[in-house]
C-alpha cells in the first residue's frame, strides 16, 4: 500500500492563496530541519509513483527518510516549497518553473532532471491528426508553458503555423496560419483528458494522460519528440536548500539505474528517463 498523503485540488485552491503569508514555524521546520524526513510534494502519476518506488526499495538502504505528499494542481507544490511546508517538489519542467518564479516572486530552483512526459494529441473521434475537420475544437492546457508546448506540438505536425521565436510562451494569438480553422478550448491541464468526449481532440500532458488510462506511446495521434526536448520533469527545492544532504541523496536515487529500469518497465515509453 502506498504510504502517501493525498490532497485534493479543492482544498488546496484556497490554501495556495495564503501559504506565502501564513507559514508558521512548524511548517518552516519541514525544510530547515535536515534531521527529519524529507517531505516531497509530487503529482500522483508518475512522480509520486516513482518516489514511492524509491521510498519502498532504495531510501532505507541510503539512509533517507522520505515522505511523499500528492498534489493534484500545478501551483501548491511550488508555494509549499517556497514557504517550507515541504522540503522539495517533483512535478514540473524548467520552463514552467522559470515562468512560475517570475510571476509569483518565488525562489524555487532545479536540482536534477529525472524524466520526460511527452505531450500528446488525443481524440475519441479521429484516428489521425490529419483527419480533423475544418473548424474542429481542440482542448489545450491554459497555463503559459504547457499551452505553448501544445501549440508547438500542433505546429510541428503541420496543423498550424506560429510566429517565429515565440517558443513555449505561444498563445492562440501567435498563430499565423490555421488551415483547418481549428478552435481552441483552453482548460486547466488536469481537465484536458476529461474533455475528450466534448471536443474533437485534446492536447494532454503525459502525467494526466497516464492517469486517464491513455497510453501516450500507443494512443497519441502525435507525440512530442524526446530528442533535444527541454521539458524534462525535475526535482526542485527552495534556493539555498540544494546542499541539504537529504536532497542530495534523493537526487542520486532518482537518477539511479534502479529508477531508470522502473520507469522503462512500468511506463513502456510513455515516460522516458532523462539521465
The fraction of the chain above a pLDDT of 70, given in percent, is 88
β-bridge mates for residue 92, sequence order:
234
The closest alpha carbon to 47, from 233, 245, 249, belongs to: 233
Residue 258, SS3 per DSSP: helix
Place of cell 507544490: 77
Which residues, 6 or more positions from 142, have their beta carbon under 8 angstroms from its beta carbon?
Answer: 186, 187, 188, 189
What pTM value is reported for the model?
A: 0.73
Q: Is 64 left (phi over 0), alpha (psi -120 to 50) or beta?
A: beta
pLDDT digits (tens, 9 = 90+) for 2-26: 333 434 333 344 444 444 434 444 4
More confident residue, 66 or 268: 66
Average pLDDT over residues 104-111: 98
Average pLDDT over residues 68-85: 97
Strand boundaries in the chain, DSSP class E: 4-7, 38-42, 66-71, 88-93, 108-116, 120-122, 137-141, 161-162, 175-177, 183-187, 201-204, 222-223, 233-238, 272-273
Average pLDDT over residues 51-74: 97
CA distance 150 to 65: 37
Average pLDDT score over the chain: 89
β-bridge mates for residue 89, sequence order:
41, 236
Q: What is the pLDDT of residue 230?
A: 86
CA distance 117 to 206: 5
CA angle 252, 237, 47 (to 5 degrees): 65
Q: What is the pLDDT of residue 171?
A: 96
pLDDT at 47 over 60: yes
**Cβ burial 107-136 (10 Å sphere, 16+ → b, else e):** ebbbbbbbbbbbbbbbbeeeeebeebeeeb
* pLDDT band per the 50, 70, 90 thresholds, residue 31: low
Q: What is the pLDDT of residue 227?
A: 72
pLDDT at 27 over 80: no
* pLDDT band per the 50, 70, 90 thresholds, residue 32: low
pLDDT at 209 over 90: yes
Contact 122, 219 (CB under 8 A): yes
pLDDT digits (tens, 9 = 90+) for 126-137: 999 999 999 999
- Is the torsion defined by CA of 229, 231, 232, 237 positive or negative? positive
For residue 233 the three cell numbers come to: 520533469
Contact 169, 162 (CB under 8 A): no
CA distance 230 to 66: 28
pLDDT at 139 over 90: yes
Which residues, 6 or more positions from 105, have their beta carbon under 8 angstroms from its beta carbon?
Answer: none
pLDDT digits (tens, 9 = 90+) for 241-274: 999 999 999 999 999 999 999 999 999 888 989 9
Average pLDDT over residues 35-59: 96
Amino acid at each position: 500500500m502506498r504510504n502517501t498523503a493525498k490532497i485534493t485540488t479543492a482544498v488546496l485552491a484556497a490554501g495556495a492563496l495564503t501559504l506565502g503569508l501564513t507559514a508558521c514555524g512548524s511548517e518552516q521546520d519541514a525544510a530547515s530541519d535536515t534531521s527529519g524526513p524529507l517531505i516531497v510534494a509530487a503529482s500522483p502519476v508518475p512522480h509520486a509513483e516513482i518516489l514511492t518506488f524509491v521510498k519502498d526499495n532504495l531510501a532505507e538502504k541510503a539512509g533517507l527518510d522520505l515522505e511523499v505528499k500528492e498534489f493534484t494542481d500545478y501551483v501548491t507544490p511550488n508555494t509549499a516549497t517556497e514557504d517550507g511546508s515541504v522540503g522539495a517538489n517533483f512535478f514540473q519542467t524548467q520552463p514552467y518553473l522559470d515562468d512560475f518564479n517570475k510571476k509569483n516572486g518565488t525562489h524555487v530552483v532545479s536540482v536534477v532532471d529525472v524524466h520526460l512526459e511527452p505531450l500528446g494529441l488525443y481524440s475519441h473521434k479521429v484516428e489521425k491528426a490529419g483527419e480533423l475537420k475544418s473548424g474542429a475544437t481542440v482542448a489545450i492546457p491554459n497555463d503559459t508553458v504547457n499551452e505553448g508546448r501544445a501549440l508547438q506540438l500542433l505546429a510541428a505536425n503541420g496543423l498550424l503555423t506560429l510566429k517565429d521565436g515565440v517558443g513555449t510562451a505561444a498563445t492562440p494569438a501567435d498563430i499565423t496560419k490555421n488551415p483547418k480553422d481549428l478552435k481552441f478550448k483552453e482548460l486547466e491541464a488536469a481537465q484536458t483528458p476529461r474533455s475528450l468526449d466534448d471536443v474533437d481532440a485534446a492536447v494532454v500532458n503525459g502525467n494526466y494522460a497516464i492517469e486517464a488510462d491513455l497510453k501516450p506511446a500507443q494512443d497519441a495521434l502525435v507525440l512530442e519528440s524526446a530528442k533535444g526536448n527541454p521539458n524534462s520533469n525535475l526535482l526542485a527545492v527552495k534556493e539555498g536548500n540544494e546542499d541539504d544532504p537529504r536532497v542530495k541523496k534523493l537526487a542520486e536515487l532518482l537518477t539511479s539505474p534502479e529508477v531508470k529500469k522502473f520507469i522503462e518497465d512500468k511506463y513502456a515509453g510513455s515516460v522516458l528517463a532523462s539521465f
